[in-house]
Chains A and B, each alone.
Chain A
Amino acid sequence: MEKPIQEERKAFLTGNEVVAWAALVAGAEFMYGYPITPQNEIMHYWTRLAPRYKRGFLQTEDELSAGFTTIGGVMGGKKAFTATAGPGNTLMQEPLSMAEMMRLPVVVVVQQRGGPSTATVIYSQQEVTLTTMGGNGEGLRIVYSTSSHQELFDYTIKAFNTAWRYRFPTFVLGDGYQAKMREPLTLYDPEARGVAMVGTEPFVGKEGVPGIERPPAQHRNTFSLEEELYEKVKTDAGDYEKIAPSVAEYSSKYTEDADLVILSHGVVFRAVAEAVGSLREHGFKVGFFRPVTLRPMPVGPAREMAQKAKKILIAESALGQLARLFKEAAFGAQAEIHTLFKPGMGITAEEVEEKARELLQ
Chain B
Amino acid sequence: MADRIVEAYTGEYAAGKSENALNRALELARRGRLVTLVDLDIVEPFYTLRPIQDELAAHGLTVLAWKTGETMGLGEAGTVIKPAARWALRRDGDVILDIGYGVGGSRTLNLVEGAGSDPDLKVLAVINISRPMTASVADIVQHVRDLGRVDGLINNTHLGDETTGEVVQEGARVVTEAARILGLPVVATAAAAEIAEKIGQADCMDNPVRPLTRFMQKAMW
Contacts and interface: CB of A to CB of B under 8 A. Distances in A.
Contacts, number: 64
B97 to A, nearest CB: 21
A17 B73 CA distance: 24
Interface string A175-186: 001001111100
A155 interface: no
Interface stretch (A36-44, A95-103, A204-212, A241-249): A36-44
Contact of B44 (A13, A41, A48): A41
B76 A37 contact: yes
Interface string B16-57: 000000000000000000000000000010110000000000
Given A12-B160, A38-B75, A121-B75, A184 B13 contact: no
B181 interface: no
B132 A21 contact: yes
A64 interface: no
B20 to A, nearest CB: 14
A188 B131 CA distance: 14
A37 B158 CA distance: 27
A102 B84 CA distance: 55
Nearest to A38: B75
B133 interface: yes
A187 B46 CA distance: 24
Interface in B52-94: 73-76
A71 interface: no
B160 A184 contact: yes
B69 to A, nearest CB: 13
A122 B46 CA distance: 8
A360 interface: no
Interface residues of A, number: 27
B157 to A, nearest CB: 9
A14 interface: yes
B221 interface: yes
B207 interface: no
B162 interface: yes
B13 A122 contact: no
A48 B133 contact: yes
A214 interface: no
Nearest to A346: B220
A12 B13 CA distance: 11
Contacts of B74: 120-121
B106 interface: no
A17 B76 contact: no
Contact of B13 (A17, A38, A120): A17
A9 to B, nearest CB: 8
A44 B133 CA distance: 12
Contacts of B133: 45, 48-49
B159 interface: yes
11 contacts: A10-B162, A11-B132, A12-B131, A13-B132, A121-B74, A121-B76, A122-B220, A182-B47, A182-B160, A184-B159, A184-B162
Interface of B: 13-14, 44, 46-47, 73-76, 128, 130-133, 135, 158-162, 220-221
Interface of A: 10-14, 17, 21, 37-38, 40-41, 44-45, 48-49, 118, 120-123, 177, 180-184, 187
3 tightest A-B CB contacts, nearest first: A121-B75, A37-B75, A180-B46
